[in-house]
Amino acid sequence: METQTIIQTAESSLLHTYNRFPIVLDHGEDVYLYDTDQKKYLDFAAGIAVFALGYSNDAYKTAVKEQVDKLVHTSNLFYNEPAAKAAKKITQLTGMDRVFFTNSGTEAIEGAIKLVRKYAYNKDGRTDHEIIAMKHSFHGRSMGALSVTGNDAYQAPFKPLIGGVRFAEYNNLESVKSLITDRTCGIILEALQGEGGIYPASKEFMQGLRALCDEHDILLVCDEIQCGMGRTGNMFCYQSYDILPDVVCVAKALGNGLPIGAFLCREECAALVPGDHGSTYGGNPLVCAAANAVMDQFEELNLTAHVKEVGAYLYEQLEQLTAEFDCIKDHRGIGLMQGIELTIPVGDVIKKAQKEGLIIISASGNVIRFVPPLVIEKKHVDEMIAKLKKCLQ
């Protein structure tokens, strides 16, 4: 199909929930994407922090292809080897004891919400438990996940949402404390807020939350869907705060493009039992084979060390850019999850960047978000900065 025909065909049938860019992506190579007109783009979005390994990782591709030939799906009425292996690996990497595999990040959040409620229910039999979430957070679009997402515009048309959710100020421990009641069963947050505008949590805040949760027997839920899987230079972002959450949600880069997410917990809070939760596809052999290949590649390529190095370089370069351009108001982030806040509309810069052959995305608050494949090299950072400069001039 011609590019314009593809776009028209899509627009004539897809529910219009996205304002898509008029680009039809065709294939990827290394850390570059090509559209149907063979235009080449440097990819600094990675399909929204998903394609960690880039587009030319042979070990990943082979693992997925071999599993397609072997067995794609079994249902969870039976065991399968890729899921067993993936479960072992992801629990070890997170420091958690138990995992439930989902098909998306949103579903991981749904599971985590059910888990914290069930944990509290087991203690006191009440059904009026409360969850504290953060303002400017993002946890997904289903009714449960939306209920803990601190964004009024996303929530407004869909009320009533699930009850008992209170929103605290991010990085403000007193604000969280003031919302705690004898019904609070969970506190959920991203250690580095992504969609909300690239805001890292302070050490005092994370450690303060941990202490608060210990004191009140509240479960601390870390949404690592975007900031996890090596993106900040640690396998999981909370690991840089010297704390262990009770529940961890993962997705995005876990499957490197295949739909797999997970929620994990410590043994003491593994409150869900047969009949409480389920998923037909969740953790099927195909997606788990992908996740295994991803986790193996992290080790093989020593990706977290690589992210620390290239992330620090990106940080320096963006600091320089911020000093150079008045239209950049602020620069924040960790590793390969950084953002610059602009005084000019980010939408215009993003469109200009596409013309220059650079894919970047936005985050809330007029922020350009940099979440490239984790395998990018310093030369790609240089290329991105050169292209971005042209767009800001």
- Minimum gap (Å) between residue 226 Cβ and ligand PLP: 3
Stretch that binds ligand PLP, among 10-18, 104-112, 322-330, 374-382 (CB under 6 A): 104-112
282 binds ligand PLP (CB under 6 A): no
Of 139, 231, 266, 331, which lies in the binding site for ligand PLP, with binding defined by CB under 6 A? 139
Stretch that binds ligand PLP, among 63-71, 90-98, 221-229, 278-286 (CB under 6 A): 221-229
251 binds ligand PLP (CB under 6 A): yes
Please say whether the beta carbons of 83 and 244 come within 8 A: no
User: In this complex, which beta carbon is closest to ligand PLP, that of residue 106 or of residue 147?
Assistant: 106
Residue 273's CB is within 10 A of a number of other CB atoms, namely 9
118 binds ligand PLP (CB under 6 A): no
Q: What is d(CA 95, CA 91) in angstroms, rounded to the nearest whole number?
A: 6
Q: Which residues are annotated as a binding site for N(2)-acetyl-L-ornithine?
A: 141, 279
Q: Can you name the residues that pair with 184 across neighbouring β-strands?
A: 130
Please say whether the beta carbons of 265 and 115 come within 8 A: yes
User: In this complex, which beta carbon is closest to ligand PLP, that of residue 133 or of residue 213?
Assistant: 133
Residue 261 main-chain phi, psi, to 5 deg: -135, 180
Q: Which two tokens stand for residue 339?
A: 């953002």
104 binds ligand PLP (CB under 6 A): yes
Give the C-alpha distances (Å, rounded to integers) separating 191 from 196, 226, 238, 274, 333. 12, 10, 6, 31, 11
Q: What is d(CA 70, CA 54) in angstroms, rounded to the nearest whole number?
A: 25
Q: Can you name the residues that pair with 168 across neighbouring β-strands?
A: 134
Q: What is d(CA 109, CA 17) in angstroms, rounded to the nearest whole number?
A: 21
Q: Which residue's structure tokens are 């505008």?
A: 197
110 binds ligand PLP (CB under 6 A): no
Of 110, 223, 246, 341, which lies in the binding site for ligand PLP, with binding defined by CB under 6 A? 223
- Minimum gap (Å) between residue 255 Cβ and ligand PLP: 10
- Minimum gap (Å) between residue 220 Cβ and ligand PLP: 15
User: In this complex, which beta carbon is closest to ligand PLP, that of residue 191 or of residue 271?
Assistant: 191
Q: Residue 343 contacts by C-beta under 8 Å, 6 or more apart in sequence?
A: 326, 327, 328, 329, 366
- Minimum gap (Å) between residue 291 Cβ and ligand PLP: 14
Q: Can you name the residues that pair with 34 across neighbouring β-strands?
A: 27, 40
257 binds ligand PLP (CB under 6 A): no
The interface mask with ligand PLP, positions 155-194, x = CB under 6 A, is -----------------------------------x---x
Of 57, 80, 106, 354, which lies in the binding site for ligand PLP, with binding defined by CB under 6 A? 106
- Minimum gap (Å) between residue 371 Cβ and ligand PLP: 9
Q: What is d(CA 106, CA 126) in angstroms, rounded to the nearest whole number?
A: 26
Of 47, 82, 140, 339, which lies in the binding site for ligand PLP, with binding defined by CB under 6 A? 140
Residue 3's CB is within 10 A of a number of other CB atoms, namely 14
Q: Is 1 exposed, middle or buried (0-12, 13-18, 19+ CB in 10 A)?
A: exposed
- Minimum gap (Å) between residue 225 Cβ and ligand PLP: 4
User: In this complex, which beta carbon is closest to ligand PLP, that of residue 171 or of residue 226?
Assistant: 226
225 binds ligand PLP (CB under 6 A): yes
Please say whether the beta carbons of 134 and 170 come within 8 A: yes
Q: Residue 305 contacts by C-beta under 8 Å, 6 or more apart in sequence?
A: 233
226 binds ligand PLP (CB under 6 A): yes
User: In this complex, which beta carbon is closest to ligand PLP, that of residue 104 or of residue 256?
Assistant: 104
Residue 27 main-chain phi, psi, to 5 deg: -155, 165
195 binds ligand PLP (CB under 6 A): yes
105 binds ligand PLP (CB under 6 A): yes
Residue 21's CB is within 10 A of a number of other CB atoms, namely 13
- Minimum gap (Å) between residue 387 Cβ and ligand PLP: 25
Interaction site with ligand PLP (CB under 6 A): 104-106, 109, 138-140, 190, 194-195, 223, 225-226, 251-252
